[in-house]
Amino acid sequence: MGKTNKIYCLGIESTADDFGIGVSTLKGEILANASDSYIPETGGIHPREAARHHAQVASTVLKSALDSAGIKPKDLNIIAFSQGPGLGPSLRTGATVARALASYLNIPLVGVNHSVAHIEIGKLRTGARDPVTLYVSGGNTIVAAFDSGRYRVFGETLDIALGNCLDVFAREAGLKHQKGMPLGAAIEKLAMEGKTLVPLPYVVKGMDVSLSGLLTASTNVLNEGKCKLGDLCYSLQEYAFSMVTEVTERALAHTEKKEVLLTGGVAANKRLQSMIKVIAEEHEADFNVVPREFATDNGAMIAWTGALAYMHGLSTPIGESSVRLRWRIEKVDIPWIK
Amino acid sequence: MDKVTEPTLLKKGAEASLQVAIWNGRKVVFKTRLPKRYRHEKLDSDIRTYRTVHEPQLMNAAKKAGVPTPLVFQVDTKNSVITMEFIEGKLVKQLLGSLSATEREEMCIRIGETIGKLHAHGVIHGDLTTSNMIVNKEGRVFLVDFGLGEKNTELEAQGVDLHLMKRALQSTHYRFAEECFEAIAKGYSSAIGEDRSKEVMSKIKEIEKRGRYVEGRKDEAKN
């Protein structure tokens, strides 16, 4: 009973360092959200090493996802995968797994835009319907809102992403990425000890932000060694988060929408949450933040967005399933929003 | 003492609230940058003071460049309030969609000329959107909201400024963003000169490619 009536979409996420597989029904019940992350020994993500990691763990993660959903491969109806944007080698590994499964099971394949998926999972889990979204992660810093068939980008970074800015600074400060403790979380923890605001550059241009100068300046202060690391982490967060909050508020005032959604890996940061909450209150908008397990890259968001796309007649023939490294969010048609 | 009528709220923007009143016999706008609770107090007051001081300076510089901007009557840095002339007219944002294709092109050419003049005189607006442009009855384009602007003659700053204009068109006027920007580029070129305009346009392409996920940034990998 039940199970046999349901339509299952399996979603594969592999845009960067996380390899995730989730299972969603067409109604948005998330039945599984398994993942395994590549943690570099030193430095940032090495694309080839990340891809090697993903290939190694793919079958284990797949099994774990199917087990927790309580289904067999033959029960699956749709295979969704993150087609872009992201790192080529990582994306190709996920796409290869997706193509193999779809061909073997002879079921439709759906290519999903990773950025759209972050917004859709946020909406699904918070109940937001038409928000201004601040999507902040290691690879993206985007303020987007829906208008006439697509998510339009109102603001974004002119250079590096917010998560990237925090990660690089953390590595400069000698912090190590550990399982369950990403670098951003390590900065957040240290920032709680900080009290003194160190002057740093604050760069807002129109509705865009620029973070590379902030990273350079913070790193310089760090290397001078005259400032407590806690104070510096605190100041970096205050400056960087104030900048993205300012542009989010501008998009909110501009679009006059009544909901704000905070999504992506950096959405887990409590200080950022508190700032976005303030602007939501000031504009009488509802504040929504994606739950932590769906904040970082995950397979469930791909499964759910794949299900949405499939229900609206979209699928991706294998011949058109090449990965799209720089697939911008505003290029994607969103037929499921009226 | 100033003679002033009870102000009425014109707009509560993200950054400032705009109130209208009759001040010493003139219709004025009080632009108040209110404290932002989300920002650290010191950072917040530094940003508000900086912008309140710089905005009138840039408006003045724009005027010298022949770009219409409201007259500034008074600046109160302590409370971050600028008192300026009220411009009777319509926002380009409201106007653009109701124009015919030819009228729209003409208006965008005029906007381009305005930006070109500004840049030619070393002023960067910093927030070029159609909400920051007012057209009066005579069809003159007034620029407002210089809070994010700066004095700068560099190619980079000019490129970013126009890039933001392009981005604003794409998010708000996506139906005719391309034709509008082409017309703006035409007007810009006539004001700043063809050579400089070409350099700025190619700078814009470079700036676009600097973004993380932009098609054409590097060779698109196969497969």
Round to whole Å and give the CA distance between A51 and A39. Answer: 12
Q: What ipTM is given for this predicted complex?
A: 0.88
Contact B167 A206 (CB under 8 A): yes
pLDDT at B214: 62
Residue of B nearest to A252 (CA): B14
DSSP letters spanning A240-301: HHHHHHHHHHHHHHHH--SEEEEESGGGG-HHHHHHHHHHHHHTT-EEEE--GGGTSS-HHH
Determine the residue type at B207.
I
Q: Considering the candidates B44, B76, B127, B195, report the single residue annotated as catalytic.
A: B127
Closest to A206 (Cβ–Cβ): which among B40, B129, B221? B129
Rounded to two decimals, the pTM is: 0.93
Contacts (Cβ under 8 Å, ≥6 apart) of A152: A144, A145, A146, A330, B170, B171, B172, B174
In Å, how far is B35's CA from the nearest CA of chain A?
Answer: 12
Q: Is B140 buried (19+), middle (13-18) or exposed (0-12) by CB count in 10 A?
A: middle
Fold for A3-118+296-331, please state it: Nucleotidyltransferase; domain 5 (3.30.420)
Residue in B176, B212, B214 to test binding to A, most A beta-carbons within 10 Å? B212
Structure tokens at A174: 């000698």
B57: number of Cβ within 10 Å: 15
Q: Where are the alpha helices (DSSP H) in chain A?
A: 47-69, 88-105, 114-126, 162-172, 183-191, 212-224, 229-255, 270-282, 299-311
Contacts (Cβ under 8 Å, ≥6 apart) of B38: A242, A245, A274, A275, A276, A278, A279
pLDDT at A42: 86
Structure tokens at B93: 């944002």
Check whether B218 has a pLDDT greater than 90.
Answer: no
Residues of B in contact with A203 (CB under 8 A): none
Give the model confidence (pLDDT) of B20-55 as tens digits. 999 999 999 999 999 999 999 999 999 999 999 999
A-B CB pairs within 8 A amount to 113
pLDDT at B61: 97
Helix, strand or coil for residue B183? helix
Check whether B80 has a pLDDT greater than 90.
Answer: yes
Percent of chain B with pLDDT over 70: 94
Determine the residue type at A312.
H
The predicted model gives B160-188 an average pLDDT of 94
C-alpha R_g of chain B: 19
**Longest CA span, chain A:** 67
Q: Is B2 a catalytic residue?
A: no
Closest to B128 (Cβ–Cβ): which among A204, A206, A238? A206
CA distances in angstroms from A328 to A80, A94, A112, A278, A318, listed in the order given: 18, 19, 12, 29, 21
Evaluate whether A115 touches A142 at the Cβ level (below 8 Å). yes
pLDDT at A1: 41
Buried-exposed string A148-178: b where 16+ CB fall within 10 A, e elsewhere:
eebbbbbbbbbbbbbbbbbbbbbbebebebe
Structure tokens at B126: 């910093």
Closest to B148 (Cβ–Cβ): which among A156, A160, A205? A205
| DSSP H or E stretch at residue B163 | helix B155-172
pLDDT at B91: 95
Round to whole Å and give the CA distance between A213 and A199. Answer: 13
Pick the closest to residue A167 from A266, A249, A255 (CA basis).
A266
Contact B43 A154 (CB under 8 A): no
In Å, how far is B220's CA from the nearest CA of chain A?
Answer: 7
| DSSP H or E stretch at residue A25 | strand A18-25
Question: Which residues in chain B are classed under CATH 1.10.510.10?
Answer: 90-210
Query: Cα B45–B48–B54 angle (5° rounding)?
Result: 135
**Longest CA span, chain B:** 73
Residues of A in contact with B157 (CB under 8 A): none
Round to whole Å and give the CA distance between B100 and A304. Answer: 42
Question: Which residues in chain A are classed under CATH 3.30.420.40?
Answer: 3-118+296-331, 130-294
Contact B170 A330 (CB under 8 A): yes
Residues of A in contact with B13 (CB under 8 A): 250, 253
Contacts (Cβ under 8 Å, ≥6 apart) of A31: A8, A23, A24, A25, A68, A69, A70, A71
The predicted model gives B71-87 an average pLDDT of 97
Buried-exposed string A19-39: b where 16+ CB fall within 10 A, e elsewhere:
bbbbbbbbebebbbbbbbbbe
Positions of chain A with pLDDT under 50: 1-3
Phi, psi (degrees; rounded to nearest 5) at A142: -135, 135
Residues of B in contact with A92 (CB under 8 A): 223
Residues of A in contact with B214 (CB under 8 A): 326, 328
In Å, how far is B214's CA from the nearest CA of chain A?
Answer: 5
Round to whole Å and give the CA distance between A170 and A227. Answer: 15
Please give the CATH number for the structural domain made up of A130-294: 3.30.420.40
Give the model confidence (pLDDT) of B53-71 as tens digits. 999 999 999 999 999 999 9
Question: Which residues in chain B are classed under CATH 3.30.200.20?
Answer: 8-85
Fold for B90-210, please state it: Transferase(Phosphotransferase); domain 1 (1.10.510)
DSSP letters spanning B81-138: EEEEEPPPSEEHHHHHTTS-HHHHHHHHHHHHHHHHHHHHTTEE-S---GGGEEE-TT
pLDDT at B133: 97
Closest to A154 (Cβ–Cβ): which among B44, B160, B171? B171
Give the model confidence (pLDDT) of B132-164 as tens digits. 999 999 989 999 999 999 999 999 999 999 999
pLDDT at B209: 83
Give the model confidence (pLDDT) of A31-62 as tens digits. 999 999 999 988 889 999 999 999 999 999 99
Fold for B8-85, please state it: Phosphorylase Kinase; domain 1 (3.30.200)
pLDDT at A4: 54
Round to whole Å and give the CA distance between B201 and A148. Answer: 29
Evaluate whether A154 touches A254 at the Cβ level (below 8 Å). yes
DSSP tag of B4? B
